[in-house]
Amino acid sequence: MQRCCGITRGRARCSNGARYETTICNATFKVCKHHQNKRLLSGWEREISRRETVELPGQDEVPLDVERWVHLFHEGWDNTKNIYVSSNFATAIFRHHDIANYNFDKKHKLYTSIKLNSGPILDTCGICLEDRRVYRTECDHAFCKNCMREWLLRATTCPQCRRIL
């Protein structure tokens, strides 16, 4: 059975099996009986309410398009089964309105490039330890794009200093 995608108070993934479904903003999620109550999907609720408005460069604050965010979250979830990755993924790219025709792979490439601050330069990648064209994260650690794409499917932190990217 699939695992429930609800979140516990400690922000961990619920360990129950998912026999039920709940729908948030037209996206359907497999959940356990406990998490069928929408209010108990507290991680997402918090994530969404924390981001009621967003600032876009050169514009005033605009309301967060929650439905769009949840759809991207759902797409991230389908492909990674990781609640933190999905949430970061949705938050990073939901304001890019030109990605409607992108498949997940292309969206994830965009997500990765957002997380890489500058580059490329020729240097040693912190993951594969090869001399490659590498890009620097905000915390100033350097990785090649292939390694970083793989890494960001499973984690939201820098592989070297564990800072959240």
The residue ranges that bind Zn ion (CB under 5 A) are 4, 6, 14, 16, 32, 35, 125, 127-128, 139, 141, 144, 147, 158, 160-161
Listed residue (78, 77, 103) closest to 88, CA to CA: 77
* Nearest distance from C-beta of residue 130 to Zn ion, angstroms: 6
Three-class SS state of 39: helix
Cα–Cα distance between 132 and 161 in angstroms, integer?
Answer: 20
Least distance (Å) between residue 89 CB and Zn ion: 19
* CA–CA distance, 43 with 7 (Å, rounded to integer): 6
- Cβ proximity to Zn ion: between 32 and 70 the closer is 32
Nearer to Zn ion, 54 or 114 (CB): 114
- Shorter beta-carbon distance to Zn ion: residue 103 or 162: 162
Query: Six-digit token pair at 98?
Result: 């030109």
90 burial class (0-12, 13-18, 19+ CB within 10 angstroms)? buried
The residues pairing with 83 across neighbouring beta strands, listed in sequence order, are none
Which tokens is 79 given?
Answer: 């492909």
Nearer to Zn ion, 83 or 147 (CB): 147
In angstroms, give the least distance from the CB of 51 to Zn ion: 23
> In whole angstroms, how close is the CB of 116 to Zn ion at the nearest point?
12
